[in-house]
Structure 1
Amino acid sequence: MIPIPPPPPAIIAPAVEPRVAAPERSVDTASDLRIAAALTDARVRVDSGFSGATIVLYGAVFNPGDQPTDVVVVVRGPDAPVRLVKKTRNMGVWLNSRPVLFEGAPGFYMTASTRPLSDIADFGQLRRLGVGVDHLRIDAPEETRTVTRYGVRDVVVSRLGEDYLDWRRAVIRLREAAALYNTDPAGVSFVDRGLFRAEVELPTTAPTGIYNAEVWLFQDGDPVSVSNLTLTVEKVGFERNVYEFAHRQPWLYGLMCVLLAAMTGYLASRLFRRF
């Protein structure tokens, strides 16, 4: 009988530790001078109980050096036409002049900064960027013409020559009185090293639409970085339905308003006739 050789010893493979994926690492930005920002709420809903809103804009400044920087926040609402009239004295009587229409004035405009804008950048730089109420771009066509707006004929649309700046100041003054234009030279505050915050105050009369926010980073009077944000202010609920109906079918909306007013007047007359 032939003996059977014993089986070879089992070969034990060395233990292999499970491969752990390398953790993801962010891109190194230590050498970049830049700014990043965000809003606590990018959508504001307007209903019958809307009494204004306060939105916090926050962000961080990545500054690899020791040279100080400044932050400027600019929030601009949707453009809307502005109709103005001017009191003129004619033969001892004060009369309204022909209406003047500015077609491109923003419905909302605010700036907030770490210090006054004139200390951050020079006049030319601010004018080029359109930063600040004094450098706000309010469009009026080059040509002089008359149109019919707001049910009024012969509305003047022009740059008004030498009087343009006076009319422009009037637009800004009226919007500031309505809390739609605001300038806060100390509206941006640093809460920690590199971390800042600012508040955007929306009044009850804030127009609906898309708002554009620009967060500028200045150093030595020059813009070195910018972060662009979008804010939406929209009507909701019953107010939104009425708003959309009035704009989609204005003739039917006007007819319904007239009928409703006539019916209300008729019912009121019948009610008070009994007393």
Structure 2
Amino acid sequence: MIQAPPPPPPAFEAPAPERSVDTVQDLRVAAALTNAQVQVDSRFRGASIVLYGAVFNPTDDPTDVVVVVRGPDEPVRLVKKTRNLGVWLNSRPVLFEGAPGFYMTASTRPLSDIAGFGQLRRLGVGVDHLRIDAPEESRTVTRYGVRDVVISRLGEDYLDWRRAVIRLREAAALYNTDPDGVTFVDRGLFRAEVELPAIAPTGEYHAEVWLFRDGEPAGVSNLTLTVAKVGFERDVYEFAHRRPWTYGVLCVLLAAGIGYAASRVLGRR
């Protein structure tokens, strides 16, 4: 007896994809990095990282995007040339407790055209509004046998020293401002390049992607970038920081050994 084949299973209809309510109704920005970790070794000559993202804008109101990348804070030691009795000498060193080792801003147009001075200062966006840590009161400390003056943020000369920090970091390509660094490649899609020089400090970097509309912040996306030493350089770096005295003694012994070997070789000629 021949049996009829079983009926085919009912066709499965996938539910229609639902659009995110936030995407439809809210103004927001989303961003990402092409590489969230940079490895530093003896061959490191700098790195170029692309930051890309999208602006979800349910209206036709124009918006601006500002990218801020800030590296780990580190102390800054400065001296000033002063003339005494016709001789140029270094002044007593001035020590800032912390300044970003790397700082860059990129935007769709100049920051002054995007938001007002007060708004940028409140957000700390732009090198002119960069927060450089300094103590409330001046004091003198001794580090490695050198007496440094820790400058007060309330002192009259704070702004002069602060400008010197920024000028030196800009000359070293560690601070950068690009008013045309953010470009829209398509409707709502943008990109910016983060250029890290060879002397960029290692550590954790923080990136903020601000979305502005009518001079007010309308959204922000936060990203993290890690710059880390790898290989033999990392081992030496960690050993030097874990055991500084042992590292110093070994460096002296190594230098003495190389000097002795060189004198023996040259003495035979």
TM-score higher than 0.5 here? yes
SS of the aligned residue for 1:74 comes to strand
**Equivalent of 2:43 in 39, 49, 60:** 49
Whether 1:225 and 2:219 are equivalent positions in the alignment is yes
**Equivalent of 1:238 in 215, 232, 243:** 232
**Separation (CA, whole Å) in 2 of partners of 1:152 and 1:87:** 21
CA separation of 1:14/1:55 partners in 2, compared to 1, >3 Å: closer, same or farther? closer
Whether 1:121 and 2:119 are equivalent positions in the alignment is no
Q: Show structure 1 runs of 4+ deviating over 4 A.
A: 13-16, 18-21
Q: Which residue pairs with 2:148 in the alignment? A: 155
**Equivalent of 2:105 in 105, 111, 122:** 111
- Using the size of structure 2 for normalisation, the TM-score is 0.94
**Separation (CA, whole Å) in 2 of partners of 1:16 and 1:268:** 87
Q: Quote the offset at 1:14 in angstroms.
A: 9.2
Give the aligned residue type for 1:192.
D
**Separation (CA, whole Å) in 2 of partners of 1:222 and 1:250:** 49
Q: Quote the offset at 1:221 in angstroms.
A: 0.4
- Residue by residue over 1:45-75, the C-alpha shift from the partner in whole angstroms, topping out at 9 and shown as x without a partner, is 0011001000000000000111100000000
SS of the aligned residue for 1:162 comes to coil
Q: Which residue pairs with 1:8 in the alignment? A: none
**Equivalent of 1:27 in 14, 17, 20:** 20
Q: Quote the offset at 1:208 in angstroms.
A: 0.2
Aligned-residue RMSD, C-alpha? 1.6
**Bigger Rg over Cα:** 1
**Separation (CA, whole Å) in 1 of partners of 2:11 and 2:53:** 40
- Residue by residue over 1:225-253, the C-alpha shift from the partner in whole angstroms, topping out at 9 and shown as x without a partner, is 00000000000011011111111111111
- Residue by residue over 1:66-125, the C-alpha shift from the partner in whole angstroms, topping out at 9 and shown as x without a partner, is 110000000000000000001111222211111000111000000000000000000000
Q: Which residue pairs with 1:192 in the alignment? A: 186
Q: Quote the offset at 1:154 in angstroms.
A: 2.1
Q: Quote the offset at 1:218 in angstroms.
A: 0.2
SS of the aligned residue for 2:54 comes to strand
Matched pairs, number: 262
Q: Which residue pairs with 2:3 in the alignment? A: none
Instruction: Give the fraction of aligned pairs with identical amino acids, expressed as a percent.
Output: 77
Whether 1:264 and 2:258 are equivalent positions in the alignment is yes
